[in-house]
Amino acid sequence: MLAFLIRRISQSVMVLLVMSVLVFVGVFYIGNPIDILIAPDATPAEYARAVKELGLDKPMLDQYWIFLKDAVHGDLGNSFVYNEPALKLILQRMPATMELAVTAMLMAVFIGIPLGMLAGIKHDTMLGRSIMRFSILGFSLPTFWVGLMFIILFSVQLGWLPSGGRGTTVELLGVPVSFLTWDGIQHLILPAMNLALFKTSLAIRLSRAGVQENLQMDYVKFAKAKGLSNTRIIGLHVMKNIMIPVITVLGMEFGGLIAFAVVTETIFSWPGMGKLVIDSIGVLDRPVIVAYLLITVTMFIIINLLVDIIYSILDPRVRLGDHN
């Protein structure tokens, strides 16, 4: 276990390092942020001053070295655009993204699993087939297109829900959240639905497959023979058996939700970190881009590690270590 952990952590550090080099070099070669940030009528002297001030006149290697030294001390650099610590900017935006992702995940679980089980039980009926068709649509429709349709339908045509933004937030344990006010909930529904669509389809398919597989297993046949009601068999025994794998998969997909929030946040002007990074890519705000990627990748690494550990506890056949 310990050896496993040490190996995993050292691998993760390598990944972070390699990624930071890649992004650093890449953004360096794409262009100089000053070209976009500076007033168009600025004189060459003013241009040179701005470049020097942001440390962009130094050779790339030096810049990377400075970044690395500061990063060890937990300082990921100041944003070129906002002149505030990149880390702070991202942490400010993180609660919004997290709230969106968690809500979407809950929607996927509470809508997807029941529907999927239903489709599994009634797989040869109209209902079962319709659910499956819906799920195919759900993971075929590109997120951005659905988001757009949502806005046009629910806010512009029907006027039911707001078209974007986060609405009123209140502080919960010092973190601003919107799900505690009616206004906030209204703002949350559309983007969360948009983000949840894909994972809902996934949950449907996973639980359907799980139900179908379980229904053929001996324990179900025994239970039936014993005279247990269908509701009880499915609601209790089958449910219990499919929940673990489904939840595990969805748990691993949580990282995907955070990544995909980039799209949803852009469409719904949701003030999360995904929107921040898209804006930052637009102006080559390297410290923010690098910090965002480091933070999200670290999050994925932690999620994956936890999943692996929990899995090894749940299923003794799986040994931690190399997959063989």
Buried b (16+ CB within 10 A) or exposed e, 111-137: bbbebbbbbbbebeeeebeebbeebee
Judged by beta carbon, residue 214 or residue 226, the one nearer other proteins is: 214
Which residue in 200, 214, 193, 195 sits closest to 131, CA to CA?
200
Residues in the chain: 324
Instruction: Give residue 135's identity as a one-letter amino acid code.
Output: S
Nearest distance, CB of residue 141 and other proteins, angstroms = 7
CA torsion angle for 59, 298, 255, 87 (degrees, to 10)? -60
**Helix, coil or strand: residue 274:** helix
Judged by beta carbon, residue 114 or residue 256, the one nearer other proteins is: 256
Nearest distance, CB of residue 316 and other proteins, angstroms = 14
Nearest distance, CB of residue 207 and other proteins, angstroms = 11
Q: Is there a contact between 104 and 174 (Cβ–Cβ < 8 Å)?
A: no
How far is Cα of residue 235 from the mean position of the Cα atoms in its chain?
Answer: 30
Helix (H) or strand (E) holding 171: strand 170-172
Judged by beta carbon, residue 12 or residue 228, the one nearer other proteins is: 12
Nearest distance, CB of residue 265 and other proteins, angstroms = 9
Judged by beta carbon, residue 229 or residue 267, the one nearer other proteins is: 267
Question: Does residue 177 come out as left (phi exceeding 0), alpha (psi in the -120 to 50 range) or beta?
Answer: beta
Q: Is there a contact between 278 and 97 (Cβ–Cβ < 8 Å)?
A: no
- Structure tokens given for 194: 């948009």
